[in-house]
Structure 1
């Protein structure tokens, strides 16, 4: 009980307002542990010099990202889409269906657990085009290098979506971008490339280290509707994710710092995509709007009700901060 109170009290000190929660980078030590795509913690030096050669290469060739299409006709066997129109026109891509793009985080790839769970949930729920973006060429580098290259990777995704529209006729109001951890900032930069016109972005526990004051992080202006789901603020806000608001709506499951059934930061972090995938299937996780972080921490929010997650491209929302209470096991 004392441990829980310590976490809650540390979160409470941020602010009692409903405005942006900008927390400085000084809260992080130089060396932190951060989970890779398999959930294995690796030591990260936040002051390491980025590999500028690799970053420059990514910036020159943002099309190096790889895109894999899944539909109900090929739910587990990917079709690779390239900037060659033939690859799109000969695929199962259906321009009359919504398009969902899932993006992994650091050290992830096509087969990252978040991608598989989201793909399966989306296809079970609706007849969609699910595109998994594999940006492992950059994501497999050291953390500082990856952070430096994220804007270029995001621009590449935005450019690819423009190309997809030119080939198939799809419009940006039929697209939902979903990014986990560092992937949340990737989709934010894709949204910037598209001038904020994509229908929806969902940021799943956006990465915190080196992003709190970073102008390239996910922002509410990056899409028509941006939703953040924060699950690992950690004690004193020092978690893999962060409390900083990123969207029109920001959800803080169970207060946003520690999740039921979890004993590690990595587990808390992954709960973001696990709960999102469950919400696509059941649309059962409901939050209440809060007047500020003090209500989030004390679980006394009493404002408007809003479903967290789901796959709705046109959610009707009252912007703000929301707390949602969940269980400890799937579907939460």
Structure 2
């Protein structure tokens, strides 16, 4: 690659891009603008928000995995929501608290963008387990302005669930139907890897299929290699017999659009 003087230099186009504080988080406090100015938040970047589920916290496996995937592929602000105090309560208490957590997150995002800058067309909310419903409520609290919302694994307990009104494009990844999750097509685009049911390939315990959703998502952020085929009905989706038009599952592309039910097959091991 020639420099400004025309001198050639060997350049590794696949070298990892250095990001600011990729592993050491900075805390932004709702209502305290100084915590924005003293952080590396940049309103010109994309904003990725990750929310964990029940019995988890900001350090649980999905957070570093998805954060690393985003930071490896796009220049973005990544915010990890840690609601451990409530999430580690009895399941019923945690589930009943989801609407409040989601409302607070939605209000925080409105304040963050109004104060620190940003564009709702650059916002992507990602939630796992009960966190899927947290981002669903947050998106609606923010007027459905987030460009994209991705939810992975859905609990049957909630009345205030993730739905297509939570953002411009809302995507569900179903991996644990028939056990701890539901297969209801509650999003704009609904993906059913391997039929969407427990067990997923390579899984022998229920929590494996549960976690497979965020693992699949993280993998697709890196490689965008899992391609769904449009189904004509729910039965085709849950039996992985779909053969219609294609739509890639997951990934971090903000302008992604699609509707319907999609089936696909994955491998049993990373990158699936």
TM-score by length of 2: 0.91
Runs of 5+ consecutive residues of structure 1 not aligned to the other structure: 1-70
Q: 1:206 aligns with which of 154, 172, 176?
A: 154
Q: 2:184 aligns with which of 244, 258, 262?
A: 244
SS in 1 for 2:27: strand
Write the distance in 1 (CA, Å) between the matches of 2:119 and 2:110.
Answer: 9
Give the C-alpha shift of residue 268 in structure 1: 0.4
- 1:76 partnered with 2:76: no
- 1:323 partnered with 2:263: yes
Q: How many aligned positions are there?
A: 253
Give the C-alpha shift of residue 94 in structure 1: 1.3
RMSD: 1.1
Deviations 1:207-243 (A, max 9, x none): 23x13xx1x100111111000000001xxx2x22211
- Give yes or no for contact 2:57–2:83 (8 Å, CA) kept in 1: yes
Runs of 5+ consecutive residues of structure 2 not aligned to the other structure: 1-17
- 1:164 partnered with 2:112: yes
After superposition, where does 1:171-186 map in structure 2 within 5 Å?
171-186=119-134
Higher relative CO (Cα under 8 Å, sequence separation at least 6) belongs to 1
Q: 1:256 aligns with which of 170, 184, 196?
A: 196
SS in 2 for 1:91: coil
Q: 2:174 aligns with which of 213, 223, 230?
A: 230
SS in 2 for 1:106: coil
Write the distance in 2 (CA, Å) between the matches of 1:128 and 1:232.
Answer: 30
Give the C-alpha shift of residue 244 in structure 1: 1.2
TM-score by length of 1: 0.75
Q: 1:270 aligns with which of 211, 214, 225?
A: 211
Give the C-alpha shift of residue 295 in structure 1: 1.3
After superposition, where does 1:1-332 map in structure 2 within 5 Å?
72-83=19-30, 84-208=32-156, 210-211=157-158, 214=159, 216-233=160-177, 237=178, 239-257=179-197, 258-317=199-258, 319-332=259-272
Moved over 3 A (4+): none
- Give yes or no for contact 2:42–2:117 (8 Å, CA) kept in 1: no
SS in 2 for 1:81: coil
Write the distance in 2 (CA, Å) between the matches of 1:290 and 1:81.
Answer: 43
Greater share of residues in strand? 1
- Give yes or no for contact 2:43–2:119 (8 Å, CA) kept in 1: no
